[in-house]
Amino acid sequence: MSIIFNKDEKTFTLYTKNTAYQMKIDEHNALAHSYYGKRTEYDDFSYSSNCNGYAPAFSPNVPDLDGRYYNNHVSQELSVMGIGDFRITALGLRSSDGSLACDPRYYSHEIRDGKYSLPGLPAFYGEDAKTLVVTLKDSAYDIYFHLYYGVFEEYDLITRAMVVENKTDKQIKLEKALSATIDFPCGNYDMLYFHGRHMRERMLDRTRINFAKTTVSSIRGASSHMDNPFVIVADSNANEEYGNAWAFALVYSGNFEISAQKDQWNKTRLVAGINHENFNFAVEPNESFTTPELAMVYSDKGFAPISNNLHKAIRNNLTRGKYKYERRPVLINNWEATYFDFNADKLVSMAHDAAEIGVELLVMDDGWFGKRNNDWCALGDWFVNEEKLQGTLKSLVDRVNKEGLKFGIWFEPECISEDSELYRSHPDYLFKIPNRQPQLSRQQYVLDFSRKEVRDNIYNQMVKILNSANIEYVKWDFNRHITDLFSIALPAEKQGEVYHRYMLGLYEFLEKITNEFPNILFESCSGGGGRFDCGMLYYMPQVWTSDNSDAIDRLKIQYGTSFAYPVRTMGAHVSVCPNHQNARVTPLKTRGNVAYFGTYGLELDITKMTKEEKEEIKRQIKEFKEHYDLIQYGDYYRLISPFTPEESLYCAWEVVKQDGSEALVCAVRYESDASTAQEMVKVKGLCPDKWYRINGSDRKYLGSTLENIGFYFEYDFFSYPSRLYHITLA
Ligand code: GLA
């Protein structure tokens, strides 16, 4: 049993393979948090949740317990504003009388088989998982707080979400409705977070959680390049293989916040959910509000196990559809090859040359619709530019299919250009504040996807295109962030709902279109990796990781991304040199080796490659396919960080079969110096007592030798060399 309610001690304990999570209905009938950490024998841990301190220290006591109980001192499952908990809180509820307070007390609970789902929101799923719902009720009003817990034993994954149900006869308002509160015991914790910018996503950083609030967040209407809705909280001395570490991933793609802070008693609290800035959601009588889901994974052995468990959970219990497990086609995308300057003949010639070297799908990127020959126009006009395509879309797709390639196409459904048919016929479809000039970003505006008629218009246009030809892949892009937030569909007092309603509209659209076209492979993109999150992965199993295709910059980007997201979700392409984003020149082999640890594809004009280059790419496709299952489904280990050049000139990562029988190490030297020291790397996940060879070497190594001593990297005398080391049983 993974969920146990102890009637006598009034505790709920959630067990996964290696972790335990406990809460208790306390003497105040509140739901106190008692423990989240390493699995142990059952005990009532709740003594640790109430740190009464030696003095109230200006904390108010609740009226009904002889002045002995302070909300401010108790570790809470649901932390709320207004009743003396002065730490960061997850819920701000304004009642119809105008007060900002609520007082949730235990009401009922239910344990059931299978994983709960959240209406209209992405969430992990799984028949083997278990669900606990603890319902709390406000002490004064008929307002219910349903706390959902999903337990996935195998992956040490626990998910959480909350539904606030208004059974009063008056409207209530949520000014803050985050998904979860996690209270940690006294101690020193760090936060690892993944910040960045366009073309530089998910840069790893680490900071001590102290008395000043530490927050990662987005108010851009998308999870963004700048902060990712994923953090790790860890012992201050934790590393890849040592120490307590807790991962928190929001299953949400819009505005979010993850905040943590040490309180006056040295206890750390973390809250995570929808960003409460510009959020104000009315819940009418007999209606409810559902928060997005928070996924949590704990390990007492550092970061590697939490990454691997999250990777498995994302692969098996979040992504869906035909391509969840099916081999994804090796694709070539024409964006960096042609930008807007292409026609059907050009694409067919690319398909022809690509087919010869083993490419399986051609993606026609931006520029095929309306009058779109630059980025100033035509977003919203999802009809084919037949002049440019020299005929119908079907005629082009048929020609590409004839060359032996599948066909894919680019859309940016959520945006609109001022110079477009759509804008001319529906100037009211975009976000625009009355009496203000809307802000342009990449010369475009954002459509109000909270409105059904707006979504329907785009949906119908897309469906027509997708039904008109044999289209087997869609790249779904979103190339700006949201400003001018105002929906003409809502009254003034409900404008604080628009950001979240936009996300609900987007998710509804994605659910509908992916169901309507179950055989299409959808790839999510937002100026590269601006919406790389568990929310989007529920609908689309891969994401264009970054608009930066330079293999060396990609080391940090893919390494950072790997903390939460599996290789199988990372769109990664080989492009030309000098690289279009940073002018760097790298060996073609290195570009291939880095792209292997993603979906591997091409982003270049294959017709302009030399015979030797084509041969090299042909070899790469073959090699990638040979290692496909190992790379896509193996356990992933970060071996040498690209964020610490003072420690090593290399970046290295590894995938290893779960039974330890085979591993592949990729090492890239991203710095050079004269008189270079020879560097070693230690391999992980092998069987200690079995013998292995590296790339078929004569010398055999014991698994434990490779794990404890490692092996030397081979040396190459040129810039940015890379090697793959295939380690197999001897
Ligand atoms: C974004 C994407 C690119 C490309 C362009 C097209 O920047 O990330 O890959 O599709 O849009 O405009």
Token pair, residue 617, equals: 């790419």
> Distance between the two ends of the chain, CA-based, in angstroms?
41
Q: Is residue 214 over pLDDT 80?
A: yes
Does 247 lie in the same domain as 272?
A: yes
Which pLDDT value is given to residue 52?
66
Mean pLDDT of the chain: 97
Q: Please give the average per-residue pLDDT across 25-39, as a whole number.
A: 96
Q: For residue 448, how far is its CA from the centre of ligand 1 (angstroms)?
A: 21
Question: What are the residue ranges of helices labelled H in 484-550?
Answer: 498-516, 534-539
Does 389 lie in the same domain as 346?
A: yes
Residue 388 maps to a domain: yes
| pLDDT tens figures, 442-462 | 999 999 999 999 999 999 999
Does 384 lie in the same domain as 237?
A: no
Residue 500 maps to a domain: no
β-strand partners of 180: 272
| pLDDT tens figures, 127-137 | 999 999 999 99
SS (HEC) of 586-603 = CCHHHHHHHHHCCCCEEE
Q: Which of 283, 317, 351 is the last residue of a domain?
A: 317
Token pair, residue 381, equals: 């006009």
Which residue is associated with the tokens 């550092």? Answer: 302
Residue 606 maps to a domain: no
Nearest atom, ligand 1, residue 410 CA: 10
How far is Cα 601 from Cα 362, in angstroms, rounded to an integer? 10
The alpha carbon of 95 is separated from its chain's Cα centroid by a whole number of angstroms, namely: 34
Residue 582 maps to a domain: no
Q: For residue 44, how far is its CA from the centre of ligand 1 (angstroms)?
A: 54
Does 406 lie in the same domain as 286?
A: no
- What residue ranges line ligand 1, CB within 6 angstroms? 335, 365-366, 410, 477, 479, 525, 527-528, 544, 547
Q: For residue 366, how far is its CA from the centre of ligand 1 (angstroms)?
A: 7
Cα torsion at 42, 48, 49, 53 (round to 10°)?
Answer: 170
Q: For residue 378, how far is its CA from the centre of ligand 1 (angstroms)?
A: 15
Phi, psi of 15 (to 5 degrees): -115, 135
Residue 443 maps to a domain: no
Cα torsion at 605, 607, 611, 616 (round to 10°)?
Answer: 30
Strand pairing class (214-218; 281-283): unpaired
Which pLDDT value is given to residue 271?
98
Nearest atom, ligand 1, residue 375 CA: 12
Active-site position among 448, 533, 605, 662:
533
* Residue-by-residue DSSP string for 101-127: ---EEEEEEEEEES----TTS-----T
Does 381 lie in the same domain as 275?
A: no
Does 387 lie in the same domain as 263?
A: no
Which pLDDT value is given to residue 48?
86
Cα–Cα nearest to 555, from 722, 682, 695, 668:
668
Which pLDDT value is given to residue 412?
98
| pLDDT tens figures, 636-674 | 999 999 999 999 999 999 999 999 999 999 999 999 889
How far is Cα 651 from Cα 329, in angstroms, rounded to an integer? 27
Which pLDDT value is given to residue 64?
77
How far is Cα 291 from Cα 289, in angstroms, rounded to an integer? 7
Q: Please give the average per-residue pLDDT across 212-230, as a whole number.
A: 98
Q: Are 328 and 370 in contact (CB under 8 A)?
A: no
Cα–Cα–Cα angle for 201, 592, 569, nearest 5°? 45
Which amino acid type is present at position 250? L
Q: Which of 529, 544, 559 is the last residue of a domain?
A: 544
| pLDDT tens figures, 400-441 | 999 999 999 999 999 999 999 999 999 999 999 999 999 999
Cα–Cα nearest to 138, from 88, 96, 180:
96
Phi, psi of 152 (to 5 degrees): -110, 95
* Residue-by-residue DSSP string for 282-323: EE-TTEEEEPPEEEEEEESB-HHHHHHHHHHHHHHHT--STT
Does 204 lie in the same domain as 137?
A: yes
Instruction: Please confirm, yes or no, whether 533 is among the known catalytic residues.
Output: yes
Does 55 lie in the same domain as 194?
A: yes
In the 8-state DSSP scheme, what is residue 661?
S
Which pLDDT value is given to residue 1?
76
Q: For residue 143, how far is its CA from the centre of ligand 1 (angstroms)?
A: 46
Does 389 lie in the same domain as 244?
A: no
Residue 713 maps to a domain: yes
Which pLDDT value is given to residue 720?
98
How far is Cα 524 from Cα 521, in angstroms, rounded to an integer? 10
Q: For residue 405, how far is its CA from the centre of ligand 1 (angstroms)?
A: 22
**Domain limits at 528?**
327-414+452-479+519-544
Q: Is residue 53 over pLDDT 70?
A: no
**What is the reported pTM?**
0.98
Active-site position among 9, 508, 613, 716:
613
Does 335 lie in the same domain as 308?
A: no
- The H or E element containing residue 423 is helix 421-425
Q: Please give the average per-residue pLDDT across 15-31, as a whole number.
A: 96
SS3 state at 702: strand
What whole-number percentage of the chain has pLDDT above 90? 95
Q: For residue 257, how far is its CA from the centre of ligand 1 (angstroms)?
A: 27
Tally of domains in the chain:
3
Q: Are 133 and 148 in contact (CB under 8 A)?
A: yes
How far is Cα 104 from Cα 193, in angstroms, rounded to an integer? 32
How far is Cα 353 from Cα 356, in angstroms, rounded to an integer? 5
Buried (b) or exposed (e) across 523-544, using 16+ Cβ within 10 A?
A: bbbbbbbbbbbbbbbbbbbbbb
Cα–Cα nearest to 225, from 621, 530, 507, 586:
530
How far is Cα 729 from Cα 706, in angstroms, rounded to an integer? 12
Q: Is residue 691 over pLDDT 90?
A: yes
Strand order in the sheet with 601-603: 570-571, 542-544, 521-524, 473-476, 406-411, 361-364, 331-333, 601-603, 573-575
Which pLDDT value is given to residue 673?
86
| pLDDT tens figures, 335-388 | 999 999 999 999 999 999 999 999 999 999 999 999 999 999 999 999 999 999
Q: Please give the average per-residue pLDDT across 627-644, as a whole number.
A: 98
| pLDDT tens figures, 378-396 | 999 999 999 999 999 999 9
How far is Cα 73 from Cα 346, in angstroms, rounded to an integer? 68
Q: Is residue 51 over pLDDT 80?
A: no
Q: For residue 412, how far is its CA from the centre of ligand 1 (angstroms)?
A: 9
Which pLDDT value is given to residue 431?
98
Q: Are 320 and 541 in contact (CB under 8 A)?
A: yes
SS (HEC) of 125-172 = CCCCCEEEEEEEEECCCCEEEEEEEEEECCCCEEEEEEEEEECCCCCE
Which pLDDT value is given to residue 676?
85
Residue among 199, 410, 536, 550 whose CB has most ligand 1 atoms within 8 A, to mutate: 410
Q: Are 304 and 637 in contact (CB under 8 A)?
A: yes
Axis crossing angle, helix 393-402 with helix 344-356, rounded to the nearest 10? 20
Q: Are 95 and 141 in contact (CB under 8 A)?
A: yes
Q: Is residue 698 over pLDDT 90?
A: yes
Q: For residue 693, how far is its CA from the centre of ligand 1 (angstroms)?
A: 42
Q: For residue 547, how far is its CA from the centre of ligand 1 (angstroms)?
A: 7
Which residue is associated with the tokens 């803050």? Answer: 176
The confidence band for 102, taking pLDDT boundaries of 50, 70 and 90, is very high
Which pLDDT value is given to residue 89?
98
Residue among 200, 333, 335, 475 whose CB has most ligand 1 atoms within 8 A, to mutate: 335
How far is Cα 317 from Cα 342, in angstroms, rounded to an integer? 40
How far is Cα 517 from Cα 473, in angstroms, rounded to an integer? 10
Which amino acid type is present at position 71? N
SS3 state at 649: coil
Nearest atom, ligand 1, residue 547 CA: 8
Phi, psi of 433 (to 5 degrees): -90, 135
Q: Are 597 and 545 in contact (CB under 8 A)?
A: no
Q: Are 145 and 117 in contact (CB under 8 A)?
A: no
Instruction: Please confirm, yes or no, whether 613 is among the known catalytic residues.
Output: yes
Which pLDDT value is given to residue 49?
83
| pLDDT tens figures, 182-207 | 999 989 999 999 999 999 999 999 99
Residue among 364, 365, 542 whose CB has most ligand 1 atoms within 8 A, to mutate: 365
Does 312 lie in the same domain as 196?
A: yes
Which amino acid type is present at position 547? D
Which pLDDT value is given to residue 54?
64
Residue 605 maps to a domain: no
β-strand partners of 672: none
How far is Cα 493 from Cα 512, in angstroms, rounded to an integer? 30
Peptide bond before residue 578 is cis, with ω within 30 degrees of 0: yes
Q: Which of 317, 352, 381 is the last residue of a domain?
A: 317
How far is Cα 100 from Cα 174, in angstroms, rounded to an integer? 9
The confidence band for 149, taking pLDDT boundaries of 50, 70 and 90, is very high
| pLDDT tens figures, 259-293 | 999 999 899 999 999 999 999 999 999 999 999 99
Residue 293 maps to a domain: yes
Q: Please give the average per-residue pLDDT across 586-598, as a whole number.
A: 98
CATH number of the domain to which 692 belongs: 2.60.40.1180
Q: Are 24 and 46 in contact (CB under 8 A)?
A: yes
Q: Please give the average per-residue pLDDT across 532-537, as a whole number.
A: 98
Q: For residue 544, how far is its CA from the centre of ligand 1 (angstroms)?
A: 9
CATH number of the domain to which 312 belongs: 2.70.98.60
Does 460 lie in the same domain as 362?
A: yes
Strand order in the sheet with 31-38: 3-6, 11-15, 19-25, 31-38
